[in-house]
């Protein structure tokens, strides 16, 4: 698989971000997470951070990839099991690519939701 966006999403699903080789040496992760925003620079640091985000193999319940002139917008809902409990996350990544490697990932994450929060959200959706 040579497409860096395909390799990125596969690394997320298989919990193999560290050492995935999808990021350029000068890559930047600009992340907005609940109540915080931060930046990580350098391929190794970006892989390590995203490796913590996607530490367990998961499955995309929803995924949409919209081409952009220099990369793609990737939106998804990912589910996985952690310590025997189902978890879910909803994220959007604006990814820039140069020479077959990701140079920038601007990410927005709604948070990690365990079983209790998922049940609460399901109940709220029924109201």
Q: Over the chain, what is the mean pLDDT?
A: 96
Task: Measure the CA–CA gap between 97 and 22, rounded to whole angstroms.
Answer: 10
Residue range 2-21: average pLDDT? Answer: 96
pLDDT confidence of residue 8: 98
Assess whether pLDDT exceeds 70 at residue 1.
no
Confidence of residue 47 (pLDDT cuts 50, 70, 90): very high
pLDDT digits (tens, 9 = 90+) for 57-85: 999 999 999 999 999 999 999 999 999 99
Domains and CATH numbers, the chain: 4-77+91-110 (3.10.450.50)
Assess whether pLDDT exceeds 80 at residue 46.
yes
Distance of CA 113 to the CA centre of its chain: 14
pLDDT confidence of residue 2: 87
Task: Measure the CA–CA gap between 50 and 107, rounded to whole angstroms.
Answer: 10
pLDDT confidence of residue 127: 83
Write the Ramachandran bin of 62: left for phi over 0, alpha for psi from -120 to 50, otherwise beta.
beta
pLDDT confidence of residue 51: 97
The 10 Å Cβ neighbour count of residue 127 is 4
């Amino acid at each position: 698989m040579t497409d860096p966006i395909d390799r990125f999403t596969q690394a997320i699903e298989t919990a193999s971000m560290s050492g995935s080789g999808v990021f350029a040496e000068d890559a930047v992760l600009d992340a907005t997470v609940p109540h915080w925003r931060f930046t990580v620079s350098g391929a190794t640091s970006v892989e390590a951070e995203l490796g913590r985000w996607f530490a367990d193999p998961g499955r995309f319940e929803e995924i949409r990839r919209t081409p952009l002139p220099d990369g793609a917008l990737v939106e998804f809902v990912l589910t996985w099991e952690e310590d025997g409990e189902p978890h879910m996350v909803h994220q959007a990544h604006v990814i820039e690519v140069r020479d077959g490697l990701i140079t920038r990932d601007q990410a927005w994450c709604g948070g990690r939701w365990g079983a209790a929060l998922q049940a609460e959200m399901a109940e709220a959706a029924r109201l």
